[in-house]
Amino acid sequence: MGLFSRIPFRPALRFFSWSVQGGCVMLLFQNYVAEVTMCIGPSMLPTFNIVGDIVVVEHVSRHYRKLDLGDVVVCVSPTNPQKAICKRVLGLPGDFVCVDPTLSERRYITVPPGHIWLQGDNFTNSTDSRKYGPVSLGLLRGRVLCKIWPNFEWIRNGFEEQISQPSMDRELVVER
């Protein structure tokens, strides 16, 4: 009988094996399906609090669903790769966007292919694409699905589709 055939050693080895497998499954889930993270800072006021809201970030849509204008996303910071940023998508590849809508003299650019234009909801206190330009889609980590703390709330697209109602004059013109 060798060292590995002792009875007390087998349960410990089995526990270690299951722990490693469970850790691998959790890591794969966190990297490819969804993760729970905290958004801290004033840039996304009033959508998120300054002190930090805990949100669920899903990673599936970046591979299988196109981004929409108004989606809140988490991506690696273009200025500091050790940090993640949480911003709203205001421009998709090919879109013509205003660089800084808070300035009286407005400048417009076209978002290049493979990039998105990100801005915080708090225009007066946000470091975003106005400072570092269009963000590469390769830095995108995922789309914010919901806020789970302090209050549960689904994160909706910041833009609502406008349904135009035909006026009475238009209807009369069409009928003639």
Instruction: Write out the catalytic residue numbers.
Output: 43, 87
Q: For residue 51, give both structure tokens.
A: 């002190």
SS (H, E, C) 139-163: HEEEEEEEEEECCCEECCCCCCCCC
**Biggest CA-to-CA distance, the chain:** 100
Q: Is the separation of the CB atoms in 35 and 26 below 8 Å?
A: no
Q: Is the separation of the CB atoms in 89 and 44 below 8 Å?
A: no
Cα–Cα distance between 34 and 111 in angstroms, integer? 28
